[in-house]
Amino acid sequence: MGTNMSWAFVDGVSLQELYEVLDLEPSDQTPDYTDLGTSHVPLAGAMLKPGWCAIFAKYALVMDALLSATPPRLARLPAQSRCIACVVLEHAMVSYAGFWRGGEIVWEIRHDGGDHLEATGALPAEFSSLRDEAVARQQSSRSGSWGVDYLFNVPTDTAATVAGYPHRWVVQADLYSDLRTITPVNGHELDRLSTPPQWWQLTKSMRYR
């Protein structure tokens, strides 16, 4: 099945403040960090050693947590807060990274298989070299009997230049503190289909209502 999960890192707020902004509530259960973003731990929150508050979810549910309301819950964050959100859906070869400041989008990168790579906004300086290297490696790989989707990692590798979270490599347990499973509250329904549907809701990762 591969990795099919999403995460969001936010600064400028406490972890409890982030839960309140997103209408989420922590439990008293501490999950295994290796199960984050799986069906065993579909939704969890933590503080990360670099100082970010973090939400981890299965499939693209972090996007629903941030953006499903009108106006988006993300817009409730204070003006100084930064938010970096990533989606990795290996079953569909879809990946995404987006960066917001004070609830306003600054840049986005999305890959939807093959040679697709869509990038908008004031992108980090590192994006160009990451993209160019991935394009070159992808073209080179086609000279063999099979190809590799190197563009898949460009969104999350770009996000890592901001948040420093290397999701593709081994992560140590001490990266996390106050790790808890969390649940939606106050009528927050993560599986409610938006009108019109959002791109991540059309990847056939899960059933929306």
- What pLDDT score was predicted for residue 116? 96
- Three-state secondary structure of the chain: CCCEEEEEEECCCCHHHHHHHCCEEECCCCCCHHHECCCCECEEEEEECCCCEEEEEECCHHHHHHHCCCCCHHHHCCCCCEEEEEEEECCCCEEEEEEEECCEEEEEEEEECCCCCEEEECCCCCHHHHHHHHHHHHHHHCCCCCCCCHHHHHHHHHHHHHHCCCCCCCCCHHHEEEEEEEEECCCCCCCCCCCCCCHHHHCCCCCCC
Per-residue pLDDT of the chain (209 residues; tens, 9 = 90+): 589 999 999 999 999 999 999 999 999 999 999 999 999 999 999 999 889 999 999 999 999 999 988 899 999 999 999 999 999 999 999 999 999 999 999 999 999 999 999 999 999 999 999 999 999 998 887 766 567 899 999 999 999 999 988 676 667 778 899 999 999 999 999 999 998 999 999 999 999 98
Domain ranges of the chain: 4-202
**pTM given for the model:** 0.94
